Structure 1
């Protein structure tokens, strides 16, 4: 599947999940806009599959409605295989941070993350009481949690409260690949 079709699939899945959530909770687009801080116009376009939201916007919506990020892209398949480099991929505006969903179950999400050489990613704080567990699969990375810096090399793992300020920095000449799990506290 090419990038255009994958992107369209992602937008349609999210739009469908968002509309389903809104209808199940008897909410108008105005209600959803107030809850998420995303404009009614943008939410309507997302629901209709007319726009491709940024990773920051997807996080904002996810936090606003207190749903795990991947719940916005959930399918009904009883068995799912997520191959590296295939399927849904999300990136930040700079395209230097890419995540691929791997698994979602019982308030836990797992994804692969790719951080490009000589770049940083500074996510907004995640949902309240969320724990993030990151394992370096290839490369090395510097992770800042609050004001403390941690250097992790291949197969090293860190666990921290993800609702606090944190960032990932790759100082190397190679892409760093991480396996990240999020455990939501709701």
Structure 2
């Protein structure tokens, strides 16, 4: 039995079958509809859904493209394994000469429409954020330190243990007004 990225082909075929069936049903499509949309024959799609055929990468790309989904959407196990993310393994974004660090723990995903990151600000450092598109919400929690958040002409002081939600479609600025490094966890939610 062949192995693909640590997953046996039979198991991978089962994952693909389940995901394809779910996507098709969620979109209320028949096998004929999917065949028309993807250019993959109805009989081949049926075999894939029943786990009787292991599709080629080219076929998977055709299916993903025709269904307007990602390739990984077809390959990911519905019961995703637990995943530990170590800060040291992330590629942080820096600004303010390295005194502002953003660690992208959970990057944006179209299916979930959110991203989660941790922000660290050294004493006295600040970061200005441009307005996001309409419908973007920010949820933030201060885990260490004291942050001043300015949204337009309003100022808010958030100390350790405080949380806040605001619409991110207006300019805003974060500043560490406490002593020591401030640490903030942020979730950005994209409604659209």
Q: Under a length normalisation based on structure 2, what TM-score does the superposition of the two structures give?
A: 0.53
Equivalent residue for 2:92, pick from 89, 92, 107: 89
* Aligned equivalents of 1:94, 1:177: Cα separation in 2: 17
Equivalent residue for 2:113, pick from 103, 107, 113: 107
Map of 2:191 onto structure 1: 185
Map of 2:177 onto structure 1: 171
Map of 1:147 onto structure 2: 153
* Aligned equivalents of 2:160, 2:180: Cα separation in 1: 13
TM-align CA RMSD? 1.9
Equivalent residues in 2 for 1:34-183, closer than 5 Å: 79=81, 80-92=83-95, 94-103=97-106, 104-105=108-109, 106-183=112-189
Deviation per residue, 1:8-47 (Å, 9 max, x gap): xxxxxxxxxxxxxxxxxxxxxxxxxxxxxxxxxxxxxxxx
Where does the alignment leave 5 or more consecutive residues of structure 2 unmatched?
Answer: 1-74
Equivalenced residues, count: 111
**CA 183–134 in structure 1, closer or farther in 2 if over 3 Å, else same:** same
**CA 146–108 in structure 1, closer or farther in 2 if over 3 Å, else same:** same
* Aligned equivalents of 2:174, 2:140: Cα separation in 1: 10
Q: Give the Å deviation of 1:85.
A: 3.9
* Aligned equivalents of 2:89, 2:120: Cα separation in 1: 13
Instruction: Tell whether the 8 Å contact from 1:82 to 1:101 is kept in structure 2 after alignment.
Output: no
3-state secondary structure, aligned to 1:122: strand
3-state secondary structure, aligned to 1:94: helix
Deviation per residue, 1:100-146 (Å, 9 max, x gap): 11224510111111011111110111232100011001111110112
* Aligned equivalents of 1:163, 1:94: Cα separation in 2: 26
* Aligned equivalents of 2:166, 2:88: Cα separation in 1: 27
Instruction: Tell whether the 8 Å contact from 1:122 to 1:167 is kept in structure 2 after alignment.
Output: yes
Q: Give the Å deviation of 1:82.
A: 2.0
